[in-house]
Amino acid sequence: MTLSHPRTPRTRNTTPWLLGASLGLAALGLTLATRSADADPREEARYPYDPACAWGRLANGRGMLVRCLTQAEAAGLATGKPKPVAAAPAAPSAAPPAAPTASEAPPEKPPAPQNVSANLVQVLVDEGKLPAAEKRLREANDRYAECVTKHGGLSQAKGEVHVRFLVRGVRGRAEGVSVQRRVAVGADAAQCVAHVVDRRWVGTPEAPLVGATAVVRFERR
């Protein structure tokens, strides 16, 4: 009978693996120790942090930053009692107009309308006669005076407006009216007088086409 010895189990050599693990742990510990020494403990305590806003940010709901939160606002959010966010100051409104002081002089009143009289004194015809012209044009004396009264009055005690016009033999009316001359009368007033003469019937001339000038005089009453 042969006796056999039990086989001794083979052991695996783990020395190299343990040595590598030990070296890796040592390097990791050195790295952590170096990082801990260089970093600020307050920053590490609240990492990750917002580099732009230390206490958080206020957005508009569309991904756009409105502004950073203050420390007091952040503390209120942490306790569940947020403080109301202060609204942006409104743009200053325009200052109301200053009230007039007692020392300011009252506005000047417009000058009172003048009481002016008008009279058509003559009609000068270039050729022939217009016997009905003076009578017809003199009927509008009140309208001539009204023109001067409404448009500034006379700059002197007396004034004149000379109105030039043409008369055709068929129609017998004043046409092509224009202001030839004015004395102590404004341009608007003189034009108003010419407008009154325009298209007014002055009679049939002796020639097919005749030119004439109406002279209207004005005087303050």
Question: What tens-digit pLDDT sequence spans the chain (221 residues)?
Answer: 444 445 544 545 544 444 444 444 444 444 444 444 454 555 545 555 566 677 777 777 776 766 787 888 878 777 766 555 555 555 556 666 666 665 565 666 555 667 999 999 999 999 888 989 999 999 999 999 999 999 999 999 999 999 999 999 889 999 999 999 999 999 999 999 999 999 999 999 988 999 999 999 999 98
Residue 204 falls inside a structural domain: yes
Residue 63: give the domain boundaries: 23-85
Give me the number of domains the chain comprises: 2
Question: Are residues 198 and 147 part of one domain?
Answer: yes
Q: Say if residue 170 is in the same domain as residue 212.
A: yes
Considering the domain architecture, whether residues 78 and 127 belong to the same structural domain is answered as: no
- Which pTM value belongs to this model? 0.51
What is the spatial distance between Cα 42 and Cα 39, in angstroms, rounded to a whole number? 9
- Are 79 and 155 found together in one domain? no
